Amino acid sequence: MKFFQISAYLIFSAINSLYAQSTPRAVGSYAVFTIPFEGDSVTFAVVAKPGELKAKKSVFLFRQGSLPIPLFTINPKNNRPSLTELPISCYDHESDYYSIMIAKPGVPVIENDAYLDTLFTTRNNPKPAMYPPQYQAHNYLDYYVRQTNAVLKFVLQQPWADAKRVVLAGGSEGYGVAIKTAYANPTVTHLIAFSGFLDGRQQGIIREERMKGYTGEYTQEQAQQSVEGLQQQWSQICADSLNTSAKVGDPNRTHYSFSIDFRGYLLALTIPILIIYGTADIGATSNDVLPLEFAKRGKKNLEIKAYPNHDHTFYKLTFDDKGKVISKVYNGVAVEKDYFQWLKEH
């Protein structure tokens, strides 16, 4: 059990560059690679044991959301590692796809489930050890795009990867990573992006604060005050946009890099695109305009799937007559099944 709790550095430091480029390491039932990247390395996992990487299959690469979440967590019931944020439905499609996830920079590759509990409960007063300098320095959009491209280049050189079908999916922070990578990488054949802000992170947050003035959570005056504060915050971020230090939350560089308009990248694509979001995820409803933008240009490679009353993580919400949430039920697995059905049709 202790093996799975040690850091990424201890797990992989003994692997030299040649070995890392050619031979995966077994972590539970996964094949884990570490390859050179920008003077350092990048680690990623494939849903297959090393000895099972033989049959040629399509590629499904998933980019996760924000926070320094480990690639693997240990299930306390059986002491086995599992990919922390990989859509569970990927395991239903192992005969068709090699599903892949990439580790966050500077974050331990494997931790116990209790690590996540601490991470989420300390978000507003984070523990510095959970936000290491390497993570803070590399936690921005273009780094993740380059990282994803490096992994795809390596994977598509392997005899077990079928380059004819390369699916790139991403949610929340991964929405932007997936979109910009698909734009930059011609090997991507299908794009699935969900729970992201079309106009960028800062505009999405402003939309959410404005809406609180209509739901009764804020008065209109309070909502306006909050919006003005966010506008001032943005000016400060722009004035120091490369800063990678932060006491709470993401540093300026992270926030600035994800606060861009993604529609130009989407409109430039000719591959099949699926955009997914919940209508209770106010910032993500900015995607409502995408069908208009595509139709204006005569483009027909976009499909939108909006889930009424679903939030950012696809919990279906029930409201009382005053608009207050009174219950929530997770529906993410059904959403995953929908996008795998979309893949079958495209």
Domain boundary (255, 271, 287) is at 255
Cα distance between the two ends of the chain: 42
Residues 141, 89 share a domain: yes
CA 306 to chain centre: 18
CATH code at position 103: 3.40.50.1820
**One-letter amino acid of 156:** L
Domain of residue 211: give its range. 202-255
Query: In angstroms, what is the C-alpha Rg of the chain?
Result: 20
Token readout for 51 is 């000895």
Task: Return the beta strands (E) in the chain as ranges.
Answer: 25-27, 30-37, 40-46, 57-63, 72-75, 80-83, 97-102, 110-112, 161-171, 190-194, 273-278, 302-307, 315-319, 325-330
pLDDT of residue 18: 38
For the chain, the domain total comes to 2
Residues 117, 155 share a domain: yes
pLDDT mean by block of 10 residues, the chain; 346 residues: 38 40 84 95 95 95 95 88 95 96 96 89 81 94 98 97 98 98 98 97 96 92 97 97 88 96 98 98 97 98 98 95 89 97 98
Which pairing describes strands 25-27 and 30-37: parallel, antiparallel, or unpaired?
antiparallel
pLDDT of residue 8: 37
Residues 139, 9 share a domain: yes
pLDDT of residue 117: 87
Residue where the block lists tokens 């932060």? 246
Residues 132, 115 share a domain: yes
Domain boundary (234, 255, 276) is at 255
